[in-house]
């Protein structure tokens, strides 16, 4: 919000809480005041990450035809010798 909005008093905030929440959901910040002194701010919650959209990687990922086959000892050796499985 580029311009600071007029604070709302606590009584108004309690009476019109749902309307204030709707305004906050649209991106507005609401300042709540007690006797004219700002004491709280209602702000929109920022999502932690954008919502996932299914199918965005279609055609970019493939699975090998032999994916279901067990790995050989030779293929597994670097895995077991890595730092994932330290000596105990």
Q: Is residue 16 part of a domain?
A: yes
**Residue 15 falls inside a structural domain:** yes
Q: Residue 57 domain-assigned? A: no
**What's the rounded Cα separation, in Å, for the pair 79 and 88?**
16
For residue 25, what are the domain limits?
8-42
User: Which range has highest mean pLDDT (27-31, 63-67, 81-85)?
Assistant: 27-31
Residue 18 lies in a domain: yes
User: Does residue 10 surpass a pLDDT of 50?
Assistant: yes
Tokens of 18: 């749902």
How many separate domains does the chain show? 1
What order do you get walking across the sheet with 30-34 strand by strand?
A: 8-9, 30-34, 37-42
Tell how far CA 24 is from the center of its chain: 17
* Domain assignment present for 67: no
The predicted-structure confidence for 52-80, as pLDDT tens digits, reads as follows 899 988 889 888 898 899 999 999 988 88
Is residue 78 in some structural domain? no
Look at the pTM and tell me if it is higher than 0.75. no
């Amino acid at each position: 919000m580029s311009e600071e909005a007029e604070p709302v008093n606590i009584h108004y905030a309690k009476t019109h809480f749902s309307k204030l929440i709707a305004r906050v959901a649209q991106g507005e910040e609401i300042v709540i005041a007690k006797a004219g002194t700002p004491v709280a701010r209602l702000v929109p919650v920022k999502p932690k990450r954008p919502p996932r959209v299914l199918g965005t990687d279609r055609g970019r990922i493939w699975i090998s035809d032999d994916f279901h086959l067990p790995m050989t000892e030779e293929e597994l050796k670097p895995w077991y010798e890595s730092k994932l499985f330290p000596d105990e």
